[in-house]
């Protein structure tokens, strides 16, 4: 936690206090929790986990782009990157996912996090939540405090009505939520809600690491 509370705004102090309570809940669930005041601190925190020549990949995330970590990784030669953007054909994508699932570190955000420390995520094809559940040795999640909700019910609602519409627009998907700005409970081919995964614990202690950030990040 940041010790220079006198330099923080009341909102930042409130975020920090809330984050501390959620991190305590993470600890009970086998999840490592951390708090960073802003995106610059979060960017630096993520990098501290990496070791030279480790393998790194990531799921689609506005948050990761906003903290600048993806651009930094692509400009650095210290690591081996499994960048799914480089795969174009179905065969290349399948081969790339095989590599991603063995990565030392997998980066992502979470669509919602409950006060009780549960993670709730939606996915269209399932590649992101698959890596969260199993595969990569370490999963590092970066999430702004705007992702915090009271309970799982609110978390699912948030993923479908707050996160899914702008993500569908970002990805150019033809879904009701992209057109109307809220969930239409659709079953169209571009549906971004193919899987809804609730992570309530990590059986591998510390495999999942969550960095909460005292800013509004992502969707």
> pLDDT (tens digit, 9 = 90+) per residue, 78-120?
999 999 999 999 999 999 999 999 999 999 999 999 999 999 9
Calculate mean pLDDT across residues 194-202: 96
Phi (first) and psi of residue 81, to 5 degrees: -100, 135
CB 105 within 8 A of CB 49: yes
Q: What is the DSSP string of 3-63?
A: S-GGGS-HHHHHHHHHHHHHHHHHHHTT-EEEEESSHHHHHHHHHHH--TT-EEEE---HH
Residues for the chain: how many in total? 219
Smallest Cα–Cα separation from 66: which of 40, 105, 35? 40
Q: Max alpha carbon distance in the chain (Å)?
A: 55
Sequence ranges of the domains in the chain: 5-213
CATH code for residues 5-213 = 3.40.50.10420
The pLDDT score that the predictor gives to residue 44 is 98
Question: Cα(58)–Cα(67) distance, rounded to whole angstroms?
Answer: 14
Residue 4 has pLDDT above 90, yes or no: no
CB 195 within 8 A of CB 154: no
What b/e sequence results for 170-200 when a residue is b if at least 16 CB atoms lie within 10 Å of its CB, and e otherwise?
eeebebbbbeeeebbebeeeebbbebebebe
- Averaged pLDDT of the chain: 95
> pTM for this structure?
0.93
Q: Work out the pLDDT band at 205, boundaries 50, 70, 90.
A: very high
Calculate mean pLDDT across residues 135-151: 98
CB 118 within 8 A of CB 198: yes
In the structure encoding, which two tokens stand for residue 212, read together? 């909460």
């Amino acid at each position: 936690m940041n010790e220079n509370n006198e330099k923080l705004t009341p909102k930042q102090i409130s975020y920090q206090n809330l984050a501390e309570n959620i991190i305590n809940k993470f600890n009970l669930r086998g999840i490592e929790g951390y708090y960073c005041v802003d995106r610059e601190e979060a960017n630096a925190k993520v990098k501290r986990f990496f070791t030279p020549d480790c393998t790194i990949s990531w799921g689609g995330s506005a948050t990761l782009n906003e903290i600048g970590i993806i651009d930094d990784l692509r400009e650095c030669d210290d690591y081996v990157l499994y960048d799914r953007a480089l795969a174009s054909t179905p065969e290349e994508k399948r081969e790339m996912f095989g590599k991603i699932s063995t990565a030392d570190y997998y980066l992502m955000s979470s669509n919602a996090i409950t006060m009780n420390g549960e993670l709730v995520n939606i996915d269209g094809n399932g590649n992101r939540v698959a890596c969260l559940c199993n595969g990569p040795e370490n999963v590092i999640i970066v999430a702004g405090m705007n992702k915090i909700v009271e309970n799982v019910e609110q978390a699912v609602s948030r993923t479908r009505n707050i996160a899914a519409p702008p993500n569908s627009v970002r990805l150019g998907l033809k879904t009701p939520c992209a057109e109307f700005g809220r969930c239409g409970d659709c079953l169209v081919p571009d549906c971004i809600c193919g899987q809804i995964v609730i992570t309530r614990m990590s059986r591998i202690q510390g495999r999942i690491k969550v960095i909460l950030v005292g800013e509004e990040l992502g969707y």
